[in-house]
Structure 1
Amino acid sequence: MPSTLSPRTDPAAARDVVPAAEDTVAFADPPTLGRRPALAADRDATPTLARRVRALVGRALRASIVLVLFLALWEVAPRVGLVDAVFLPPLSRVLDAFGTLASSGELALHLGASLSRAGTGFAIAVLAAIPLGVAIGWYERVSDVLNPFLELFRNTAALALLPVFILILGIGETSKIALVVYACTFPVLLTTISAVRSVDPLLVKSARSLGLSSLRLFQKVVLPAAVPTVFTGVRMAGASSILVLIAAEMVGAKAGLGYLITYTQFNFQIEKMYAGIIAIALVGVSVNGVLLALERHFSRWRTASS
């Protein structure tokens, strides 16, 4: 009698049944198909050198387009009569005058005089303001004593005190450096006070619980946490040192970029006057770039922790 068992019910027959080809493909395809999009996505996610170059070029173009348009307008406006070329020469003539000043050594002389004054005053202000700001921000009694004095002079413009500095210290180098010190002190001092007071109290308590001394607490917790805010004030002070000094050199000096601008204006050397202004702008940009690099160097721990 023939067997009526089907492969589904007969175990022996079920072992002899060979799976269909499409069943094998059905089981083999999903893992293969699942891997291919992942590999393609990985390749797409990896930035190529060409993409990086295009991104850098695009960022540079966006950052410089306004400056390029301004310089082009400066060159074209006097030539087409939009402004009087006597009082605003074309940019090309100003650059020629800049090259003449640089090649003759006159620009280096005035630049060196201004940088030495600004650098000296800036360094004195930073070295004095940061420790004082830490003391005021950390110790309440020191803050109570010095706060009225700070509130009085923080709102007094440095240039308003220029006649006072000249009367007391004379018209020489001392009065100019003292004016720069005054102008640079308050941005650094106030930002340092704010930075110290804004340190996370939980960090301070944790450091104290570990048995750190006051000196180690400042070194390991307070100062690293305050560095970014302090450098904001340092950068502001760097800009103030240049601006205030230029104004002081216009009043009484025999060398310096401020003196160069005033001298060329009085002698109607307009191209050289604008060349001096360009030199001041380049100095300001360079100082800000150096301070930004220092800020990144001393704030590397923030990038590493993030």
Structure 2
Amino acid sequence: MEFLNKIFSITPENKTELIQEVFQFQLQNNKVYREWFELIGKQQQKPTAIPYLPVSFFKTHAITTTTFDPDVIFESSGTTTSINSKHYVKDWQVYETSFLKAFQQFYGAPQNWCMIGLLPAYLERKHSSLVAMVHTLVQQSRHTDSGFYLYEYQQLHATLQRLEAVAQPVLLIGVTFALLDFAEQYPLPLKHTIIMETGGMKGRRKEITREALHQQLKNAFGISQVHAEYGMTELLSQAYSSGNGRFYCPPWMQVLVRNEDDPLDVRLEGEGILNIIDLANLYSCSFIATDDVGKVYPDGSFEVWGRLDNSDIRGCSLLVT
């Protein structure tokens, strides 16, 4: 618990030291990560460099630091024939602390909002970390209209009209395809509602760019910006964007960029494939090489442009148990 207290009270002054502490802790107590380190560590130009575990390993291995019975197992979405990622979470309270602290940093207390989740693709399956997060935010908001919607677009439209009439701040968190469906069927001007997209067409609609998506939502709802959340099953932290697709991290999370031609070439800024440090992943792995392509800015904020082609097969054959 002392370790976690240090993580969630991290400062710029102790960040580098704390990252090294977590790295050493996971190297000693995570079998898969240690084998990966031994496999590629010899190729590292700097002996002190931290290796990043390919995110695909969450599909093929149980990524755990120390031995434990998990409080919860989060699982990614996929088809009936795909292999889904599984994140074994030792302590639910760690995840709850992470997302509540991050939310409060960017949006204030959940009690200040009416929280509405438009997440049909996630609600239709079990073990979604996003649904678990929004469920807790809904509970903490304590507003009588807070809750989830599947495909009740007409009811959602009526609820938003009523909340807008009394100037109630609303945060509508939605999966991409559902937000677009709702926008096309029930456009309405929103002055007191923030639209936050979580990404994902889930095969329901043709993929479009984030810029095109946001423009459609702006036009439908008469808003100047569309917010966004960046997270994944393999992480216990989220980054948020208040517009223009540029994400900002909580203090215990950091995004870096690696060279596609040289995965060991990891930089603090620039264009390439995103690597993530998530210290909340203390009991899984805090150092993740994602398949997302984007740009990291000098201030640590980042953009996500898309995903590598054939990302599911990259790295999977490098470590076999």
Greater share of strand residues, 1 or 2?
A: 2
Q: Would you say same fold, with TM above 0.5? A: no
TM-score, scaled relative to structure 1: 0.23
Greater share of helix residues, 1 or 2?
A: 1
Between structure 1 and structure 2, the one with the greater Rg is: 1
